[in-house]
Structure 1
Amino acid sequence: MRGDRWAPERYDLEEELRLVKRRSPWEGAGQLPLSTENEMRIRARFRMSLLAFSLGCGLAGAESELPVEEVRSAIKKSIPLLEKTTIGTSEHRGCFTCHGHAMPVVALVEARRRGFIIDENNIREQLEHTLADLKVGKERYLDGRGQGGGYTRAGYALWMLREAGWRPNEITGIVSGYLVRDEKADHWKSNTNRPPTEFSPFTATYLALEAIDRFGTKEQARRIAERQKKAREWLLQTNPRETEERVFQILGLGHLGATGQAAQAAKDLLKLQRNDGGWAQLPGEERKSDPYATGSVLFALRREGVFTDMDKSYRRGVRFLLDTQHDDGSWHVKSRSKPFQKYYESGYPHGKDQFISMAAGSWATLALLQLIMVEKNP
């Protein structure tokens, strides 16, 4: 992750820039040189975190230290389940999935960066599984049809590959070309209705921005620049309806360097924190907090430099995640999507709710990982 330890009391800016330039641990993968634009983005986030830190110091009061060891224990319990989930999903599904591949893999590679032991062979298998699936859809990407799941699926696949440090190749360039094919569009739409993971144009837009930023080709540069410009205006002018959209609006604005606007959106999201420390997916007092919404909020606000260890709101959110983790290491969220695919057991608990729950477990793990220092030599 690019936005890892933004808390200035513990954060080494130059070390972060070095880590972003690091080579991937997997053969055939690697990072390209850090662009001036990305370096400026990292430095802007650091400046934003200085402000958050100065405000947070006044809020800390007599708050006790964060339970780092309890957090470590929660992460260690989650990792085997996420690994089991990726394996089970690949065994039952020949195609790439957002909930069973992208989210767990992103969480697992972030865990590796922070010193946790993961199954490296499994990660590589999941990355290759994803690339193989993209290659199956090569002609559909070339002619603009894409695969089932459209921009959201393509975006999740490339976002996962980006976070894993995979080097651009022919198929990633083709998928990037599909994402920028429509030069008139000002955002990316979702063609599925599987909330919260796969339904929102905010989600599809952020994922596409991440994808084209990393995997776009020189030939696509003009179209990429135009889409980024239009997406920025769309993100600024479009009102999010629920937590998923607020999270990805903040991530999108931060990605495009609109840190001031991202900070205001974050302030609005902070107001929605519940008395139990969590966030709900949908607006309304009758809605309950859940690990999916809470994990994604904490991750986004920490990644964009809004939270530091000193913030009471952050600590309350962490406590909610720790208290809602099950003894088996999982988190449970009730599904609100209508099933349309054949049921299978992925290895993640909670029956018919397992698919949204594995995404929730991934977000919760990502959020907790932000408390753990990055290993300098991952």
Structure 2
Amino acid sequence: MKLWIGIVCSVLASLAGDASTARIQEAATRAVAIIQKSQNNWYAKASCVSCHQQVFPALAFRAAREHGIPVDEKAAHADAAAAFGFYSNLERAAEFTYVIDPALNDSYGMIAANAAGVRPSLVTAVYARLVAARQEPDGHWETGDVRPPQSYSPFTTTAITVRAIQLYGHPSQKADVLTRVARARSWLVFPPASRDRGARVPTAGRLLGRRGSGHAPEDGHGTQSHAAGRWGLELA
């Protein structure tokens, strides 16, 4: 009797797990569709790239692909081409006049462009060099943005910028990038208390930065990067 009860409980638990996974996938599929629908008329009413309409959706679409969640690839490619097409404009990059909040804004743009499939080029290398040069002497990057959780604190800014320069730093700047990442790692592990504005908020950003800069957090858990499911975006 006890054996049958155990078998029944195991089967029910298995079915519950499957149903939960199915519900999660269904919810994620609906969410991706809603995000893509919201992008349809963005450029009919706005001329700028938006963090909530292009940057974070690009990251969400990559995560969706990695987990088997369907994405309208035609629509995603069209939006990405419009959003990240400026990475083909070397003159604009050299002038660096479209500035809102470097390094956070430009670094977010680069990691989103990477998620969308924008390959490294001289233009992306220029942007990487420009944000790299804004590193503070003690190793961190600053931001003037105060919109937690995604845009707030030197921890988040440092984490995002480290990833951006790792992705798009020019090969000739490899030594410089490694040096900057090492300085950032040191600051993330032992940040001066005087610069910890918002210590209650940026824990996730700090851990993200420590992982990205090569320092394993205390929990010892690792991360894996998944390249599958990303398409290349050719910029004319």
Q: Which amino acid aligns with 1:152?
A: L
1:350 counterpart residue number: none
Could you tell me how far apart the structure 1 residues matched to 2:190 and 2:95 are?
32
Structure 2 counterpart of 1:138, from 90, 93, 115: 93
Question: What stretches of structure 2 of length at least 5 have no aligned partner?
Answer: 1-12, 231-236
1:98 counterpart residue number: 51
Say yes or no: does 1:226 pair with 2:179. Answer: yes
Could you tell me how far apart the structure 2 residues matched to 1:260 and 1:73 are?
33
1:195 counterpart residue number: 148
Question: What stretches of structure 1 of length at least 5 have no aligned partner?
Answer: 1-61, 265-300, 306-373
Higher relative contact order (CA 8 A, sep 6+): 1
Structure 1 178/166 Cα, relative in aligned 2: closer, same or farther at 3 Å? same
| SS class of match (1:260) | coil
Q: Which amino acid aligns with 1:89?
A: W
Structure 2 counterpart of 1:257, from 199, 206, 214: 214
Counterparts of 1:8-87 in structure 2, within 5 Å, are 65=17, 67-87=20-40
Structure 1 runs, 4 residues or longer, greater than 6 Å off? 374-378
Could you tell me how far apart the structure 2 residues matched to 1:119 and 1:165 are?
15
Could you tell me how far apart the structure 1 residues matched to 2:175 and 2:98 are?
21
Say yes or no: does 1:209 pair with 2:152. Answer: no
Greater Cα radius of gyration, structure 1 or 2: 2
2:118 counterpart residue number: 166
Shift of 1:200: 2.1
Structure 1 184/206 Cα, relative in aligned 2: closer, same or farther at 3 Å? closer
1:179 counterpart residue number: 131
Structure 1 250/102 Cα, relative in aligned 2: closer, same or farther at 3 Å? same
Shift of 1:128: 2.0
Aligned residues: 207
Q: Percent identity?
A: 20
Could you tell me how far apart the structure 2 residues matched to 1:188 and 1:376 are?
31
Give the conservation status (yes or no) of the 8 Å contact 1:114–1:375: no
Q: Which has the higher helix share?
A: 2
Say yes or no: does 1:151 pair with 2:108. Answer: no
Counterparts of 1:240-255 in structure 2, within 5 Å, are 241-243=199-201, 245-255=202-212
User: What is the TM-score of this pair, normalised by structure 2?
Assistant: 0.75
Could you tell me how far apart the structure 1 residues matched to 2:208 and 2:70 are?
28
Shift of 1:137: 4.1
